[in-house]
Structure formats: C-alpha cells, structure tokens
C-alpha cells in the first residue's frame, strides 16, 4: 500500500514539472552540470531539427535562444556543415 502511494506522488511530481515548462518563446537555462543527453532531450522536445549533430555548447546556446528562430537556424546550419565536412572522399 505504501509503495503504491509513493509511486503516485512521484507520478504527480512529474506531471507538475512537465506543466511548469517555459513557453516556446522563452530561453531555457539548464543547470551547469546538465549532461549532453539531457540537453538533447530538451532540444528535441522543443522541435529543433538535426539536434543529434549539435555539441554540448551548441545545445546550450540553442536553448538560450529558443525564441529566436533565426539564431537557432544559424547554429544548427553551422553544425550540419561541420558534420557533412567529415564525410569527404579522401582523408590525409
């Protein structure tokens, strides 16, 4: 009985934290020790394309500028070009 009550409290806490997310126009600041995976999941929830090619610094910049779509597009475009450059024909 106590385990079920504890699970309900945890589920309610998760619902509250999901509801308290910022609006899409506001920047999101993650805690300093946020892992790349946490940042990737947050960016994915915000609907950013090609989030897998972004490094940790770019992910945090995207979250800070989430309301400014042009800035986000510039950051993602830079990461995509860097990623594509790694697929050259010959490597020395």
71 is a domain residue: yes
Q: What is the pLDDT of residue 17?
A: 43
- Whether 12 is covered by a domain: the verdict is no
- Record the tokens describing residue 76, joined without a space: 């993602």
pLDDT at 9: 57
- Single out the residue of 61, 46, 62, 54 nearest to residue 79, CA to CA: 54
Close Cβ partners of 22 (under 8 Å, ≥ 6 residues apart): 28
pLDDT, residue 91, reads 57
Q: Does residue 8 fall inside a structural domain?
A: no
Q: Which domain holds residue 38?
A: 34-86
What's the pLDDT at 5? 58
* Digit-coded pLDDT (tens) for 20-75: 444 444 556 566 678 889 999 999 998 999 989 999 999 999 998 888 889 999 99
pLDDT tops 90 at residue 77:
yes
* Range 5-39 burial, b when 16+ CB lie within 10 A, else e: eeeeeeeeeeeeeeeeeeeeeeebeeeeeeeeeeb
What would the two tokens of residue 60 be? 């945090």
| Residue among 61, 23, 18 nearest 39 (CA) | 61
Report how many domains make up the chain.
1
Is the confidence at residue 83, as pLDDT, over 60? Answer: yes
Model confidence pTM above 0.85: no
């Amino acid at each position: 009985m106590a385990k079920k009550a504890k699970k309900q409290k945890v589920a309610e806490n998760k619902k509250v934290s999901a509801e308290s997310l910022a609006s899409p126009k506001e920047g999101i600041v993650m805690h300093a020790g946020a892992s790349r995976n946490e940042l990737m999941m947050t960016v994915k929830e915000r609907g950013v394309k090609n989030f897998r090619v972004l490094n940790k610094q770019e992910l945090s910049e995207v979250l800070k500028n989430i309301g400014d779509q042009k800035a986000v597009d510039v950051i993602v475009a830079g990461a995509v070009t860097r990623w594509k450059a790694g697929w050259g024909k010959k490597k020395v």
